[in-house]
Chains A and B, each alone.
Chain A
Amino acid sequence: TQLLEQSPQFLSIQEGENLTVYCNSSSVFSSLQWYRQEPGEGPVLLVTVVTGGEVKKLKRLTFQFGDARKDSSLHITAAQPGDTGLYLCAGEGAGTASKLTFGTGTRLQVTL
């Protein structure tokens, strides 16, 4: 069974602070996706990383895929209240068809 552990589970920070969320596994993934989920809504895709070592930036968000494709990180610079939400990583298993395994989730709260 492929497991994705995220840390931290909860994070409460003030506007303007930086933060990093980690997504770790002992399994190799062919790609890894990051989603954000807001209360009462389904998760929405932020980014997909495919190549080991890949770095993608989405405004103040920086995503990195580990060299061995077993882990990933999400770094947010100068967090804003609008970043508040549940962040989920999801890995596409190497060789498994049509299956995403979701991480345990990180709940982020950004206050003024």
Chain B
Amino acid sequence: DTAVSQTPKYLVTQMGNDKSIKCEQNLGHDTMYWYKQDSKKFLKIMFSYNNKELIINETVPNRFSPKSPDKAHLNLHINSLELGDSAVYFCASSQEAAEAFFGQGTRLTVV
């Protein structure tokens, strides 16, 4: 059983489009995250949700809107995609700030 699964794994889209990435965890964790990893492999937190409530929003453009329908799901919707949004997006979950379990990542390419 996959602990943290995110879909799709690859996403290629044109500038200006709107897209969503879905994430689900079956670990029973209270906290879920979205991270962005850039071309230099720097992993930066974008959002953190604890029990469906937004805890951290790290100066992310408001074109990015996370949604957590329940504590096992944290989806990421991106409006008006820009070239600079191209990156690998990782979903993760943890129990508080203990070990973070990561999904396999979604490689987003905006053309």
Would you give the shortest CB distance from A17 to chain B, in whole angstroms?
22
Closest to A102 in B: B43
A97 CB within 8 Å of chain B: yes
Number of interface residues of A (CB under 8 A): 23
Q: Does B55 contact A (CB under 8 A)?
A: yes
Given A41-B105, A88-B43, A105-B41, CB of A100 within 8 Å of CB of B100:
yes
Q: Which of A53-79 contact B (CB under 8 A)?
A: none
Chain A binding surface, main DSSP class: strand
Chain B residues with CB under 8 A of A104: 40, 42
Q: Can you report 19 A-B residue pairs in the complex whose CB atoms are below 8 A from each other?
A: A37-B41, A40-B105, A42-B4, A42-B90, A42-B92, A43-B100, A43-B102, A45-B100, A88-B43, A97-B96, A97-B97, A98-B31, A98-B55, A99-B97, A101-B45, A102-B35, A104-B42, A105-B41, A105-B43
Q: Other than A42-B105, A98-B50, give 11 A-B pairs with Cβ distance below 8 A.
A: A31-B97, A40-B105, A41-B105, A42-B4, A42-B92, A42-B103, A48-B98, A86-B41, A97-B96, A100-B100, A101-B45
User: Which B residues form the contact surface with A (CB < 8 A)?
Assistant: 4, 31, 35, 40-45, 48, 50, 55-56, 90, 92, 94, 96-105
